[in-house]
Amino acid sequence: MQNSSNPEIEFRNALGSFATGVTIATTMGGDGQPVGVTASSFNSVSLDPPLVLWSLAKSSLSREAFCNSGHFAIHVLAASQEALSNLFARSGEDKFAAVDWSVGELGSPIFSHHAALFECRTRHQYEGGDHIILVGEVVSFDARDEAPLLFHGGRYVERRPRPVGEAGQSIDIEHGQFSDDFLFYLLSRAHFHTSRPTREKLAENGLSMEEYMALAMLAMEAPLSGEAIAERLPHTGHKDGNLLASMESKGLICAGSDGYDLADSGRKLFVEMLAFGKALEADLADHFTEGEIAETKRVLRRIIELTGEG
């Protein structure tokens, strides 16, 4: 037990050693205005029935709204929503003015962006010292592939730590150089390294990357015409050339009245390569947390969305 002239501060610091996710609880006030507060006290209670709880300070200006509305929504924040967490941790301003929200199933305000969402009907309220403990029955929920925002030791957990001494500039325009902090360089190098085992495996099987991409297209949506394959292949970074004729001669694909489809040998080879790739992915994922993997996928999807054409 810590000896201190201020036991309350020591107790708070001890609680801060437990890393938590960050949530925003919302409801609708009696005046029809949306109400929301940042809370890290969210917890599951029961699976059957599905119950969750969180606690609200008795001194909170939102206490009456949450205690009287009969419902609330819990938004588990994504790692990119630190600013939103800070906004709803403050009082005395229109927090919802710059937030994209709609009215949920029970009447609570629902944010369009979140890592997870739980819409709840208030079941119980308990006295908890200087807080009110609210228990809700979950009537609907949504979970997304997003890394969560974490709080530990009185601060947010950094999701992109930068090594000490890391270069602050990614490109030196004057000398025509870029550092290893240049995003496009990192994306290209990551792709080169992660795809190298697959390229080597393809070479062992006498298959080119172009042929592998064509097999992947046909595995997803065969039959496809030769024109459709030739049109889509450049989007993978590869060219057609005499591709289809070569693949047909190898017995990888077969031509029909509706277009090209996978031959048995082509399908077998593609499944083997797909299993090989998934094994590589699993080995790599062992070096990261689930949150890091989820955040990486989110960023890559966003990059594809911003730069893709069709």
pLDDT tens, residue by residue, 232-254: 777 655 555 578 888 888 899 99
Give the Cα separation of 248 and 227 in Å (integer): 15
DSSP 236: G
Structural domains present in the chain: 7-156 (2.30.110.10), 181-307 (1.10.10.10)
Q: Is the dihedral of CA 37, 38, 40, 46 positive or negative?
A: positive
> What per-residue confidence (pLDDT) applies to 180?
61
Tell me how far apart the terminal alpha carbons of the chain are, to the nearest angstrom: 62
Over residues 129-165, the pLDDT tens digits come to 889 999 999 999 998 888 888 887 667 776 544 444 4
Q: Where are the alpha helices (DSSP H) in the chain?
A: 7-15, 63-69, 82-89, 183-204, 209-221, 226-232, 243-249, 264-285, 290-307
Backbone angle region of 15, left / alpha / beta, with phi > 0 → left and psi within -120 to 50 → alpha? alpha
Q: What token pair was written down for 283? A: 């080995």
Task: Compute φ and ψ for 82, nearest 5 degrees.
Answer: -60, -40
Which pLDDT does position 3 carry in this prediction? 52
Distance of CA 47 to the CA centre of its chain: 24
Q: Does 110 have pLDDT greater than 50?
A: yes
Q: Rounded to 5 degrees, what are φ and ψ at 44?
A: -80, 150
CA atoms in the 13 A half-sphere facing the CB of 78? 17
Q: What is the DSSP letter of 141?
A: E
pLDDT, position 20: 81
Instruction: Give the closest residue to 77 by CA, choosing from 287, 291, 302.
Output: 291
In whole angstroms, give the CA distance from residue 218 to residue 256: 13
Q: Is the pLDDT of residue 108 over 80?
A: yes
Does the pLDDT of residue 60 top 60, yes or no?
Answer: yes
Judged by phi (left if over 0) then psi (alpha if -120 to 50, else beta), residue 259 lies in left
DSSP, collapsed to helix, strand or coil, labels residue 261 as: strand
- pLDDT recorded at residue 168: 46
The pLDDT mean for the chain works out to 82
pLDDT in tens, 157-191: 765 444 444 444 544 444 445 556 677 888 888 88
Closest to 42 measured CA to CA, from 89, 18, 74: 74
pTM surpassing 0.95?
Answer: no
